[in-house]
Amino acid sequence: MALSLGWRVFAPFPMSHCGVSLKAMRSSGLALSPWGRCPWRGTGSFSDPEMKAFLEENTEVTNRGSLTPEIQLRLLTPRCKFWWERADLWPHSNPYWAIYWPGGQALSRYLLDNPDVVRGKSVLDLGSGCGATAIAAKMSGASRILANDIDPIAGMAITLNCELNQLNPLPILTKNILDLEPDKWDLVVLGDMFYDEDLADGLYQWLKNCFWTHRTRVLIGDPGRPQFSGHSIQHQLRKVVEYSLPEPTRRENNGLTTSTVWDFQP
């Protein structure tokens, strides 16, 4: 993907986006090692006043340029200082949570247009980032939601984004659950999580386990990243819907033009 905190190249895919060095994100698999200095881990509080102030100061509230104008998000946009700043001035690890990725956009659009898919269901949003897909699931009537992301700052961003959309804070877990036995969920959703080969392999095994242990339905949103289209998971997917991406999302994602929701059927 490519964030571009002004310094460009911010993503694990061929995108250039906001600029905090997504070069690192690309090679490391999206901060598989979250930030040592971060005080909150696990399911702790996501209301640290200093971090809240930092996020509020360095993001813009927007609902423009995505597939889901009904969801407001705090994102890194060209109106933010760090969009234009040098990457090494960003004081934290790569802010994947500050981008609304095309895979998540497609999933969220699909859940908002098809509330029956989630109504009354338990939903895990794996790699939740800004939390938009978890928020879409909540808006569509999911009974229980967990937003999981290994980046604790994503936890804070998700909490702020819930507030923006007049929702109570969603439960958040910042533990890496891919090494654990999956809990029982009716539905697992993953937006733009296949951007690194090792991560893709780990997800594939974990998702198979989820499906075979609990018969969990798995929906994957992806705009055609090579780590996804070249993965053996391709033989076990059914296309649900493909969306044409809005122009601003195309611009920020190096020419990707569509994003697809896939049903994983191992």
Ligand X SMILES: C[S@@+](CC[C@H](N)C(=O)[O-])C[C@H]1O[C@@H](n2cnc3c(N)ncnc32)[C@H](O)[C@@H]1O
List residues binding ligand X (CB under 6 A).
1, 30-32, 96-97, 100-101, 103-104, 126-130, 132-133, 148-151, 154, 176, 178, 191-193, 195, 199
Residue with smaller CB distance to ligand X, 189 or 235? 189
* Nearest position to ligand X, beta carbon: 104
Distance of closest approach, residue 11 Cβ to ligand X, in angstroms:
7
Query: In 61-151, which ranges are continuous DSSP H helix?
Result: 81-84, 102-113, 132-139
Residue with smaller CB distance to ligand X, 112 or 154? 154
Using the 8-state DSSP alphabet, how is residue 42 labeled? T
Distance of closest approach, residue 85 Cβ to ligand X, in angstroms:
20
Name the 3-class secondary structure at 7: coil
If 0-12 CB within 10 Å is exposed, 13-18 middle and 19+ buried, where does residue 64 land?
A: exposed
Rounded to the nearest 5°, which phi and psi values hold at 262?
-120, 145
Residue 118 and residue 185 in contact, taking contact as beta carbons nearer than 8 Å: no
Distance of closest approach, residue 254 Cβ to ligand X, in angstroms:
14
Residue with smaller CB distance to ligand X, 72 or 235? 72
Question: Taking every pair of C-alpha atoms in the chain, what is the biggest distance, in angstroms?
Answer: 47
Residue with smaller CB distance to ligand X, 198 or 247? 198
Distance of closest approach, residue 131 Cβ to ligand X, in angstroms:
8
Residue with smaller CB distance to ligand X, 87 or 188? 188
Distance of closest approach, residue 129 Cβ to ligand X, in angstroms:
2
Residue 120, sorted as left (phi over 0), alpha (psi -120 to 50) or beta, turns out to be left
Residue 22 and residue 5 in contact, taking contact as beta carbons nearer than 8 Å: no
